[in-house]
Structure 1
Amino acid sequence: MNAKVEALGRRTFASLRFRNYRLYFVSQIISFSGTWMQSIALAWLVLDLTGSGTALGTVLAMQFLPTLLLAPVGGLLADRFEKRRLIMGTQTVAGLLALTLGVLTLSGVVELWMVYVLAAMFGTVTALDNPSRQTFVMEMVGTADVGNAVTLNSVVVNAARVIGPAVAGVVIAVFGVGECFVFNAVSYVAVVIAMFLIRRDELHAAARTPRAPRQVRDGFRYAWSEPILRTTIVMLVLIGTFTFEFSTTLPMLAEFTFGAGPTGLAVMTSLMGAGAVVGGLAVAATGPPTPTRLVAVAVGFGLAVGAIAIMPTIGLVYAVMPFVGVASVAMIAFSNATLQLHSDPTMRGRVMSLFSMALIGSTPIGGPIVGWLGDHTSPRVALAVGAVGAFAAAAYGWSQLLRQQDAAVPMAALEPAT
C-alpha cells in the first residue's frame, strides 16, 4: 500500500524533481496569489466606482483585448528569443503597473478612465508574456513531463485562487482595495528572482526561429491545418468567450443576486480554487490527454456552471463551486498539454499564442456580452449562457472526433511532435 502511495506521489509531482521547475513553481504561487488579490480588488473597485456590471465587463475587455490583438506577436517573440529574459522583462513591467494602480487608489484620485488605461496596459504585457511562460514550462522539464508540469502549473494558479481571494477579502474589509494592488506589485519580484536563479545549462531549449517574412500568418495556417490543434482551439474559443467569464459573473452573482458582498465573492472564488487544486492533482497523476477526455471535461464544465445558475441559495452555490474548479483546471490542463505535445517545436510559441487568444483574448467579446446580460436580465442568465458555451464546445469536439474516425485517422492516435 505504501509503495502504491509513493508511486502515485511520484507521478503526481514528477516535474518537481527538476530544480528549475521547482524555482518557477514556488515563484508562481507567490505571484498568482498577488494576481488573484488584484483581480478581486479590481472588480470591487469598479463596482464601487460605477455600480455597473457592464462597466466591469468593459474593464475586463480592456484588459484582455490586447491578448486578442497581440498574442501572435508574443508567440513569435517566444519562438525567436530567450524566454527567460522575456519573462523577466514582462514581469518587471507588470509589477510597476500594479504599483501605479495601488498608488492612484490609495491617494484617492483613481477614476474609471485610469482603470481602463491601466487594464489595457496590463493586457498588453500579458499578451507578450503568456506564450513565453507557457512554452518555458516545456523547456524546464522536457517533452516527457510537460503534461504533468502544465497541470501542476494549473494547480499553482488555483492554489493561489484559494490564497489570494481569502487574503483579499480580509484586506479589503480591514484596509481597502489599494493595498491589494501594492501587494501584487511586490509579488512579481518573486518571479524575477526565480528567473535570475534558473540554470540555463539545464534547460531543454528549442532552436530559435530565425527572422523571416509572414511568420505570424504561417503560425495561423499551421495550427488550422492540424486537426487536433484546430479542434482544441475552436473548443477553447467557445468556452473562453462564454464560460470562463467568472471575473464578471461571480462578482455580479455575489452582489446583485445574493447581496453577499466582497466576502461572498472571496468565498466563491476560493472554493473554486480549492476544487481546482484537488482536480489538478488528480489530473497530474493521469497519463497524456486525449480528445475524448477533453470533450468529456467540456460536458462536465457545462453541467457545473449550469448548476450554479439555478442554485437558490448562496450556500448551495458554495457547495457547487469546487466542482466548477475541477472542471476548469482539467479543461485548461488538457487543452494546454494537447497543443504543446502536438505542435512542431519551431511553431510552439505561435500555437500557444492561439491558446492565449482563445482562452483570454476572447474575453473582450464575451465579457461585455455577459456583463450586459447580467445587467438587463440577471447574473443567473449570464451563467446559463456560459453553460451553453461549454456544451457547444463539447458538441463540436465530438463531431470532429466522429469525422476523424470516419476518415480512419483517430485524433487520439496522432503522435506528439518532438
Structure 2
Amino acid sequence: MALTRHGDRATQLLWRPMRSEALKHRSTRRMLFAQINQGAAGWMQTTAGSWYVLTEAGSTTALSFFVIASMTPSLFLNPVGGRLMQSYSPVAMVKVLAPLAALAPLLIAGLYATGTLSIPLLFALTVIGASFRALQAPTFAKILPLTVPKSQRAAVLGYSAIAFNVSRSVGPVIAGIAGTGLAYLLSGVGFLIVAAIMFVTPLGSAQSTPTTTGPSASHSAAPKGSSFRHALRLMWNITAVRILFLCVVVFYLVSGSIHQLLAAVAKDTSTTSLALGALYACAAIGAILTNRPVLRYLDNNGHRTRLLSIVIVAAALTVVAFGFSSGLIFDMALMVILGALGEAMYLVVQRSILLELDEADSGAIFGLFLAILTGASILGSIGLGLLMDAVGVRSGLVTLGVVTLVIAVPLILLVTRASSKPQQASTDD
C-alpha cells in the first residue's frame, strides 16, 4: 500500500513539469490556438443561429429543427472523418476543409446584412457548413498528440480539453455581443485563420499518412486501416468501450438536448442573446474548473465506473433543479454544474479511446463516439423541444430530469455489474 501511494505521489510530481514541457513546443501552442479558433467559430454559429430561429419562429420545435440541421451532418460524417484519418493526413484534411467550412457562415452574414436571410435558407446553409465541420471535427484529437513526445501526450490532451472550453466560453459571448450578422462573419474569419495556421506551421509526423501499428493485446486481429464497421465491432466486443458508450448515450440525451435548446431557457428569463452567451460561457467555466481535478483523479487510477454513475445521476438532478429555477443567475449556476459534469464525461471517454486503444483504431472509434454523442443530442433535442412546446420550458425540464433519474437506476446497476466481472475473473484465477 505504501508503494502504491508513493507511486501516485511520484506521478503527481512529474505531472506538473510534464504539462509545462508540452507547451514548450511551438507547433503544440499553434494547434491549441487553432483549436480555440475553430471551436469559437462553431459556437458563434450555434449561439447566433439558435437565437435567430427562436426569435423569428417563436417555437422550441422550430429550434429543434435548427438543431437537426446543424448536428445531423456530424451524426453521419464524424465517423467518415475518423475513417479518412486512417488514409489521409489530418493536417491536409484541415487545410482543405477549414476554408470550405468558412463559406457558409460568410454567405449567411451577407444575406443577413442585405435583409434576404430566411429560416429555410439558414437551415440549408447550416447543413452545408456543418458537413465540412463534421468531417474536420476528429482531426485535432489526432493532430495534437503527434506534436509532442509520447510521454507528454496525456498532458496535451488535457490542454486540448481546456482549449475546447475556452472556445465555448469565448465564442457564445462574442456572438451575444456582436449579434447575428457579425457573429456569422467572425465565424467565417475564424475558420480561415485555422487554415492559415495549418499552412504556416511545420508539423512533422502529423502531416504524414497514418500507418497501422501492430495489433494490441485487446484485439489482436485489427485489420490495416480500421474501418467504421470494424470500429462498431470493437465497440461491441470490448466490454469497457461498450459500457462507456452506453453512458454517453444516456448523458447526452439529457445534457446535449439542454445545450442545444439553451436559447429557450435564456429567452424564458431574458430578452437579449447575451444571456444565451452567458449561459454557454458558464458551462465552459464549469468545465475548466473541473478539468484538472478529473485529470488528477484519472491519473491516480480513479474508478471510472463510479465517476460515470455520479455524472449521470448528478445531471438528472441538475435538470430537475433547472425546472424550478426562475432567474438567470440561478440558471447560470446550474450551467456551471452541467458543464462540469460534461467535462468529466468527455475526459473519461477521450482518455479511454485515444490513450488506451490501439492507435490504428482510435481515430475511427473516436469518430464513432462523436457520432453517437451527436445522435443522442439530436434525439434529446427533438423530444425536449416538443415537450417544452406542450407543457412549457420549465415543466419540460422537470419531466426530463425525473425520467433520467428513473433510467439512471437500472443503468448504474448494469454498469456496476459489468465492470465487476473482470475483477471477479482475476480473483478466481
TM-score range, shorter chain: 0.7 to 0.9
SS, match of residue 42 in structure 2:
helix
What does residue range 246-257 of structure 1 map to in structure 2 within 5 Å? Answer: 246-255=258-267, 257=268
Partners of 2:254 and 2:316 within 8 A in 1: no
Aligned match of 1:236 in 248, 256, 260? 248
- Residue-by-residue CA offset, 1:42-80 (whole Å, 9 max, x unaligned): 111112321111111111112211222233222210111
Q: CA deviation at 1:389?
A: 7.1
Q: Which amino acid aligns with 1:187?
A: G
Question: Structure 1: how far apart are the matches of 2:146 and 2:375?
Answer: 25
Partners of 1:31 and 1:188 within 8 A in 2: yes
Question: Structure 1: how far apart are the matches of 2:226 and 2:27?
Answer: 34
Aligned match of 1:274 in 280, 285, 288? 285
Partner of 1:179: 182
Q: CA deviation at 1:334?
A: 1.6
Aligned match of 1:262 in 266, 269, 273? 273
Aligned match of 2:146 in 131, 139, 152? 139
Question: Structure 2: how far apart are the matches of 1:408 and 1:69?
Answer: 36
Question: Structure 1 residue 158 and structure 2 residue 165: aligned?
Answer: yes
Q: Which amino acid aligns with 2:249?
A: V
Question: Structure 1 residue 220 and structure 2 residue 232: aligned?
Answer: yes
Q: CA deviation at 1:367?
A: 1.9
Partners of 1:275 and 1:323 within 8 A in 2: yes
Q: CA deviation at 1:388?
A: 5.3
Partner of 1:364: 378
Q: State the aligned residue count.
A: 403
Instruction: Assess, with a 3 A threshold, how the Cα gap between structure 1 residues 268 and 149 changes in structure 2: closer, same or farther.
Output: same
Q: Which amino acid aligns with 2:370?
A: S
Q: Which amino acid aligns with 1:314?
A: L
Partners of 2:54 and 2:264 within 8 A in 1: no
Question: Structure 2: how far apart are the matches of 1:369 and 1:19?
Answer: 45
Greater Cα offset, 46-55 or 15-24: 15-24
Partner of 1:149: 156
Question: Structure 2: how far apart are the matches of 1:301 and 1:148?
Answer: 27
SS, match of residue 80 in structure 1:
coil
Aligned match of 1:333 in 324, 341, 347? 347
Greater Cα offset, 232-241 or 397-406: 397-406
Q: Which amino acid aligns with 1:238?
A: V
Partners of 2:89 and 2:206 within 8 A in 1: no
Partners of 2:74 and 2:371 within 8 A in 1: yes
Question: Structure 1: how far apart are the matches of 2:201 and 2:293?
Answer: 28
Partner of 1:50: 57
Aligned match of 2:307 in 290, 293, 299? 293
Unaligned runs of 5+ in 1: 412-418
Question: Structure 2: how far apart are the matches of 1:135 and 1:352?
Answer: 9
Greater Cα offset, 198-207 or 56-65: 198-207
Structure with larger RCO (C-alpha < 8 A, sep 6+): 1
Question: Structure 2: how far apart are the matches of 1:93 and 1:307?
Answer: 41
Partner of 2:411: 396
Aligned match of 2:69 in 62, 69, 73? 62
Question: Structure 1: how far apart are the matches of 2:158 and 2:354?
Answer: 12
Q: Which amino acid aligns with 1:408?
A: Q
Instruction: Assess, with a 3 A threshold, how the Cα gap between structure 1 residues 50 and 20 changes in structure 2: closer, same or farther.
Output: same
Question: Structure 1: how far apart are the matches of 2:15 and 2:67?
Answer: 39
Q: CA deviation at 1:344?
A: 1.8
Partner of 1:75: 82
User: TM-score with structure 1 length normalisation?
Assistant: 0.86
Question: Structure 1 residue 207 and structure 2 residue 221: aligned?
Answer: no
SS, match of residue 423 in structure 2:
coil
Question: Structure 2: how far apart are the matches of 1:357 and 1:230?
Answer: 15
Identity percentage over the alignment?
21
Greater Cα offset, 210-219 or 10-19: 210-219
User: TM-score with structure 2 length normalisation?
Assistant: 0.84
Partner of 1:319: 333
Instruction: Assess, with a 3 A threshold, how the Cα gap between structure 1 residues 363 and 49 changes in structure 2: closer, same or farther.
Output: same
Q: CA deviation at 1:385?
A: 5.2
Q: Which amino acid aligns with 2:191?
A: Y
> Which structure has the larger Rg over C-alpha atoms?
2
SS, match of residue 211 in structure 2:
coil
Unaligned runs of 5+ in 2: 1-11, 214-221
